[in-house]
Amino acid sequence: MRTIEEILKESKTVAIVGLSPNPDRDSYTVARYLQEQGYRVIPVNPAVAEVLGRKSYPDLLSIGEPVDLVDVFRRPETVVPIAQQAVSIGAKALWLQLGIINEEAAEIARLGGLDVVMDRCTHVEHRRLARDGKL
């Protein structure tokens, strides 16, 4: 399994499931930060057409291009199908944000060959690693 540092270094395209168009939401703040750091952010939210100038998709299966990292901002009980879709599209890692822990989803992702991070924030981890000169 790759470390958080390796996941963040090697990922270029990040699908953010549950990305809100509301600038006050954590998902928006994280997505904007990742865009500013050079990641290609793909919004996944069936309720909106676009976020941060990017077309939004209803689910991971609709994206139609390679995704390195699936970053999830959804309630823990909704994550199993997301993990299944992440495996189906050939993502390399599943990242469940702060407060999101679902062992069943993690096991599905791991069995599908994905690295898994739970209950951590991509923004916080990226900033910490960048500050330490590791990114």
* C-beta of residue 59 within 8 angstroms of C-beta of residue 45: no
In this prediction, residue 82 carries a pLDDT of 98
Q: What is the DSSP letter of 90?
A: T
Secondary structure E strands in the chain: 13-17, 40-44, 50-51, 54-55, 69-72, 93-96, 115-117
Q: How far apart are CA 18 and CA 13, in angstroms?
A: 16
Q: Is residue 1 over pLDDT 90?
A: no
Q: How far apart (Å, rounded) are the C-alpha atoms in residues 133 and 74?
A: 31
Q: What is the pLDDT of residues 61-119, one digit of tens each?
A: 999 999 999 999 999 999 999 999 999 999 999 999 999 999 999 999 999 999 999 99
How does pLDDT run across 11-27, given as a tens digit for each residue? Answer: 999 999 999 999 999 99
Report pLDDT digits (tens) over 37-54.
Answer: 999 999 999 999 999 999
Which fold would CATH assign to domain 4-131? Rossmann fold (3.40.50)
Map out the domains of the chain as residue ranges: 4-131
The answer to whether the beta carbons of residues 43 and 30 sit under 8 Å apart is no
Give kind and range of the element (H or E) at residue 28: helix 26-36
Q: How far is CA 28 from the centre of its chain?
A: 12
